Structure 1
Amino acid sequence: MKMVKGVSVTAGIAFAAFYVSRLPFLQMLGMLVLAMLIGMLWRAVFGQRAALEPGIAFSSKYLLKAGIILLGMRLNLADIYHAGWHVFAIAVCCMMFAGAVVYGLSRLFRIDQTLSTLTACGTAICGAAAIAAIAPQIRSNENAAAISAAAVSLLGTVFTVVYSLAYHGLGFSPAAYGAFCGATLHEVAHAAAAGSAGGKAAVEMA
């Protein structure tokens, strides 16, 4: 029962985002981006409430992952195959480039090697999930893992909003925009959120 309040708040934010996304000028942002913005606004106005934390943590850990799994179940391997080898080549190149650049810049600014490695992996692979998987392997402390996860999550959120706002000015087709989002945003949730600005085809490609 202690989780009900937090889950109720997250559900309320989700429903609010669903209806707000139907308003003129806000449709371009997509429901998922609006949900993130409403959640940030809620936190800024009402602060951190201890009573809500268990439900919010449950929603972010399990309900979000369940949603991503359901999103994946909508896809079919044939669709992934038909996306073409060039999409996978773009993804591999982006991963290698992002990992090398972030690690190199981190070391250039004399950031601790462990933190540099975690941040580079989180940026290049899949955000906080990659950091959580790699941290025990390199014997990272919780502080470094938390800092790197916060950094990549914050930047992912910022660029999710930027991509959504820029979509109509980029001139990409929905499929090209989806490939762009999927290749350059690390979190699956962020890629799907940004892709939603381009519609169903963009989300599936992302």
Structure 2
Amino acid sequence: MPAATLTTLSARLVHRVTQVTPGAALCLAIAAVATIIGRLVPVVGSALPAVVIGVTIAVVRRPASRLGAGIAFSARFLLQCAVVLLGFQLSLQSILEVGLESLPVMLSSLAVCLLAAWGIGRMLGVAERLRTLIGVGTGICGASAIAAVAPVIGAASAEVSYAVSTIFLFNILAIAVFPAIGHLLHMDPHAFGLFAGTAVNDTSSVVAVASMYGAAALGFAVVVKLVRTLMIVPISVGLAVVEARKGATPQRLTPGRVVKLVPWFLVGFLVVAVANSFVDLPGGARDVLVEGSVFLIATALAGIGLSTDLRAVRRAGWRPLLLGAILWVLVMGTSLIVMWVTGALS
């Protein structure tokens, strides 16, 4: 590699590190405090305190713009790294078993969500593209699904912003609501992991909610959620076909773009889980990696809390919020009903 290229790459790396360090340091500090709280009050864990502290800071005084890059880095990339590390808790066989077990619940709740988004969204007068974004965000995986589908249907940036803000509100609510429902229904960690993985919108909130319920629930919920995330691909392809029939496909969905729809952290999670199936790590090393993932989760949730923008939620208006609330409740209800019918909820 030419020396000039190495110099340029090094300069860009230094710039990026300098850019993200202040915000990431704030998130790490919040995670450290949240971890101490979690050790003192084990039933609370570190996830909930991290997001509560972050939201409180954002509401009292929105973080300065110079912290934005580091907060975004923590909320997204560090969370994805945490998900990859969670693969050390699982094997390939367990992933296949969980995926098959979750399919009835996952597919039922997704079908109900997408149909309701179309019908109820139309009744409420929510624009077609916006209701599609809220539907896939609620039914599949929050902001990731919205980002993947937006170019396929030609959504405007304002519509994407409104959809993400709507989904984000229910992500935060899920952290308080889902553990309460789990305890009310006396769910074991296995059942709660299935419930959280199929009914909570975003990967970050699934991780937060399940980690509050326990390590056993966390591993199961993450696998269910990642299987659910794969639905981005067929849904995006289906929407591309619909848009093509309308004669207004904003971006042609090539095989290369289809491959790019699969999140890198999902691939990383599977690679780690496969390696974990065949390579015996020392017990201490595995414990360190798992503890590291828990701390990264707290750091990411601090970033998510700090990203709270109540003004964006207000700008979205009441109709998208009402649609998001209805879909959220329908997905929860459908998941619980199918779990009961299939015997997953005793």
Taking structure 2 as the reference length, the TM-score comes to 0.56
Matches within 5 A, 1:92-111: 92-111=107-126
Using the TM superposition, name which of 81-90 and 5-14 deviates more. 81-90
Change (3 A) 1:103 1:48: farther
Q: Could you list the runs of 5+ residues in structure 2 that have no partner in the other structure?
A: 1-17, 222-346
Matching residue within 126, 141, 150 for 1:135: 150
Using the TM superposition, name which of 79-88 and 93-102 deviates more. 79-88
Q: Distance in 2 between matches of 1:156 and 1:186?
A: 6
Amino acid at match of 1:162: V
Q: Distance in 2 between matches of 1:86 and 1:47?
A: 43
Q: Distance in 2 between matches of 1:126 and 1:9?
A: 27
Higher relative contact order (CA 8 A, sep 6+): 2
Q: Distance in 1 between matches of 2:185 and 2:49?
A: 20
Using the TM superposition, name which of 83-92 and 43-52 deviates more. 83-92
Amino acid at match of 1:173: D
Matching residue within 11, 17, 28 for 1:11: 28
Instruction: State the structure with more CA Rg.
Output: 2
Deviation (angstroms), 1:115? 0.3
> Would you say the 8 A contact 2:175–2:208 is kept in 1?
yes
Amino acid at match of 2:213: G
Using the TM superposition, name which of 45-54 and 132-141 deviates more. 45-54
Q: Once superposed, what is the RMSD of the aligned Cα atoms?
A: 1.7
Matches within 5 A, 1:148-163: 148-163=163-178
Q: Report the identity percentage.
A: 29
Secondary structure of 1:51's partner? Answer: helix
Secondary structure of 1:136's partner? Answer: helix
Q: Could you list the runs of 5+ residues in structure 1 that have no partner in the other structure?
A: none
Using the TM superposition, name which of 161-170 and 181-190 deviates more. 161-170
Q: Distance in 2 between matches of 1:170 and 1:85?
A: 24
Amino acid at match of 2:39: R
> Would you say the 8 A contact 1:103–1:119 is kept in 2?
no
Q: CA deviation digits over 1:86-130, x for unaligned, max 9?
A: 322111111111222233221110010010111101110100000
Matches within 5 A, 1:121-200: 121-200=136-215
Deviation (angstroms), 1:74? 3.4
Secondary structure of 1:22's partner? Answer: helix
Q: What is residue 38 of structure 2 aligned with on the other side?
A: 21
> Would you say the 8 A contact 2:37–2:45 is kept in 1?
no
Aligned length: 204
Deviation (angstroms), 1:73? 4.7
Change (3 A) 1:44 1:80: same
**Mapped pair 1:31 → 2:36:** no
Matching residue within 81, 93, 102 for 1:66: 81
> Would you say the 8 A contact 1:28–1:165 is kept in 2?
no
Q: Distance in 2 between matches of 1:106 and 1:145?
A: 16
Amino acid at match of 1:15: A
> Would you say the 8 A contact 1:128–1:149 is kept in 2?
yes
Q: Distance in 2 between matches of 1:30 and 1:166?
A: 17
Q: Distance in 1 between matches of 2:72 and 2:209?
A: 23
Deviation (angstroms), 1:84? 6.8
Q: CA deviation digits over 1:120-178, x for unaligned, max 9?
A: 01110100000000000111110000110111121122012211244332201110011
Secondary structure of 2:170's partner? Answer: helix
Q: Distance in 2 between matches of 1:35 and 1:180?
A: 23
Taking structure 1 as the reference length, the TM-score comes to 0.91
Secondary structure of 2:66's partner? Answer: coil
Matching residue within 102, 106, 113 for 1:87: 102
Using the TM superposition, name which of 68-77 and 129-138 deviates more. 68-77
